Amino acid sequence: MKRIKMADHRVSCGRDFFCVPDLAGALRNATNGGFDFISVPICHPRYRREFLDPVPNRTGAFTRSDWTNFEFVSDWNSLIVGKTSPWLNLDSPNETVRKNSEQALHQELCYSVHLSLPAVLVPLKSYNCANLAHHINTSITDTHVQQVWVHVSMKSPEDEYDKHLFEDEDEVTANKLEKDPWEWWNLFRTICANSRKVGLALEISAELPSEEELERWCGEPVKAAMLSTSLFLTNKSGYPVLPKAHQALLKKLFRLNTQLILTGVNKYKDKGLGFYYQYLAHLYQTQPDLDNVSQFAKGYEDYLQCPLQPLMDNLESQTYEIFERDPIKYRQYQKAVYEALLDRVPEDKKDSVVTVIMVVGAGRGPLVRASLTAGEETGRKVRVYAVEKNPNAVVTLETLKEEEWNGDVAVVSSDMREWDAPEQADILVSELLGSFGDNELSPECLDGAQRFLKDDGISIPCEYTSFLAPVSAPKLHYEVSQSNADTSKGPLAPFETPYVVRLHNVTVLAAPQPCFIFTHPNRADRIDNSRVKSLEFEVKTCFTLHGFSGYFETILYKDVTLSIRPETHSEGMFSWFPFFFPIKEPQYVTAGSTVACHFWRKCTTKKVWYEWCMSRPAPVPLHNPGGRSYVIGL
């Protein structure tokens, strides 16, 4: 599917044919018009095929043979998306129709495999689709079908008609599953266990649905957007253009690498189809450039990573290097130290007082550099201790101390929880936060380090809060189900592990809410870093819940903050991707219901872990009880 797969620099757009008298000619015409591929029926409708009644006893092929008659291009088959016959009805109550449809579908899919077609378009016309989904599921596991694109209308045609009529409320609810094409698709996808081979070919409607519904579609694996020529308006110069709302939708879909398929008749006979293509290509070209974070995240979209365990494992040099490149994070740290130094040492004492700054978890030195710079900028004298447990990073620290850093720096090769400090610190600077705030055990480390912080000393950061939001993420859920987890931990382990992931083809269903809060230094008599939190989210639209996204916000010092919560995200900071807590079985949630989840942070002297469950709209068992699938080692 090389040709059809989207190249990043230009749009990929196909042309749909309802019926093709001359296959080679159709392909030639489409490519001449600029189109990248065509979609055509796999079987010519002229060929009648019976399977059951009467008993087949035909001579001759079941479809025309011009499929293999392409002299002009060698990998022609990769330029064609096959369409199954529109008359197939595998869920007919009539057994003859059903069995005929089953066998015809099988024949068509086998032929498309024979031809190595990159994708097969299958129309989905009602909620009554369990048998169709079953047979497609059989094909994707038993045959080499590459991809099935399920063709679904964004809006039921009925829907547009009905909403102008008065209807009984109850009846609307009862018929919801029947009328909402998203429900059809959700059922189909779920029956097929969200398989990667099943994609969505979304037919864009003239009147677009609500913003929530559009967002929901954009959380699905939209492989293709079907655009009818009837959607286009004619601009002042007489050329086809799309309405503003449709332009905005396409730009969202482009970010998902969605390809386009133009359907319907050319309304501009004098101009040729090429003008539609040119308009769509123009739309693609005029997308705004990716922001800093998106550029950095390129290629990591929806890619599941296990959270770092910096306490148990030593980070690699490359990991340090990537994080050090963040343009925002260390600027904020430097500003926080700057403010703290000014607050701590008045102007008239700046030459007499030396402020002791201890950087705990110094890594390859970025916070040492930030502290030294803050000292210079404020004119305050500082003595910096760089405490680092990773002996490999200490090598770099020692070199930097010799070759780059002017000033009073001591490099200490030790775990901050064990170090016997020679003096008390004024300021403790650390960067121990994970995507979910406390998940790299910052609380436990700083509790251990605050022994050598003066009673009135400052911790940078001084507070952090994790956040959670319910998400629909069928693609991620499938990836989790396929992940090769440590088999010694049992089959549930992949679903009981949180991931770090650049959330992309995902719908966040409600605004994130605060979860766990930690403050430093912690002067409580008995420090308890265990937590429990119950959260409730109201959701407007029907959807399937696949888990919870996690974020954090931190106050470094006073008004100097860092955040990866979408609403307050530090602009341009790329050091953290969000967290993702999956749930074992996707939960179907109806519109207007409440999602209630419960999260625990559990600790022993050796390890920390999370547990989670749900109580609304329906009970969901405890995930990761006792840390059986995932713990963070102390």
Contact status: 476 vs its own copies (CB under 8 A)? no
Give me the catalytic one of 440, 444, 479, 553. 440
- In the residue annotation, 178 being an active-site residue is answered as no
Q: Does 279 appear as a known binding residue? A: no
The first and second tokens of residue 18, run together, are 């309802």
Burial class (CB in 10 A: 0-12, 13-18, 19+), 72: exposed
Question: Is 431 tagged catalytic?
Answer: yes
CB of 469 to its own copies, least distance (A): 19
Contacts to its own copies from residues 601-630, by CB under 8 A: 611, 613, 615-622, 625-626
CB 265, CB 229: distance < 8 Å: yes
From candidates 29, 77, 131, 413, binder to its own copies by CB under 8 A: 131
AA identity, residue 10: R
Chain positions 503 to 532 lying near its own copies, rule: CB under 8 A, are 525-526, 528, 532
Nearer to its own copies, 234 or 594 (CB): 594
Among residue numbers 211 through 270, which ones bind its own copies (CB under 8 A)? none
Residue 610 is assigned to a ligand binding site: no
And the tokens for 180? 């909402």
Instruction: Out of 46, 48, 55, 165, point to the residue binding its own copies (CB under 8 A).
Output: 55
∠ Cα 594 597 600 (to 5°)? 165
What is the nearest approach in angstroms of its own copies to the Cβ of residue 413? 37
Strand 463-472 to 507-508 pairing: antiparallel
CA distance 553 to 555: 7
Please pick, from the candidates 134, 176, 451, 569, the single residue that binds its own copies as defined by CB under 8 A: 134
- Which residue in 144, 585, 591, 633 binds its own copies (CB under 8 A)? 585
What CA–CA distance (Å, rounded) separates 550 from 501? 10
Q: How far is the CB of 337 from its own copies (least distance, A)?
A: 33
Q: Which is nearer to its own copies, 111 or 600 (CB)?
A: 600
- Applying CB under 8 A, what is the total number of residues that bind its own copies? 48
Residue 51 vs residues 44, 65, 106, 110: alpha-carbon distances, Å: 16, 20, 11, 15
> DSSP for 484-530?
---GGG-TTGGGGS-EE-B--S-EE-S--EEEEEEESS---SS----
Does the annotation place 416 within a ligand binding site?
yes
In the complex, the smallest distance separating the C-beta of residue 107 from its own copies, rounded to whole angstroms, is: 16
> How many whole angstroms from its chain centre is CA 348?
53
- Residue from 6, 11, 119, 191 touching its own copies (CB under 8 A): that is 191
CB 169 → its own copies: shortest distance, Å? 11
Interatomic CA distance for residues 23 and 26, integer angstroms: 5
Question: Rounded to an integer, what distance in angstroms lies between the CA atom of residue 36 and that of residue 6?
Answer: 10
| Whole-number Å distance between alpha carbons of 565 and 559 | 16
Tokens encoding 17: 């044919």
Query: Which residues fall in the annotated binding site for S-adenosyl-L-methionine?
Result: 320, 329-330, 388, 415-416
Positions annotated as catalytic residues are 431, 440
Which chain residues interact with its own copies by CB under 8 A? 52, 55, 91, 98-99, 127, 130-131, 133-134, 137-138, 141-142, 177, 186-187, 190-193, 490-492, 525-526, 528, 532, 534, 544, 584-585, 587-588, 598, 600, 611, 613, 615-622, 625-626
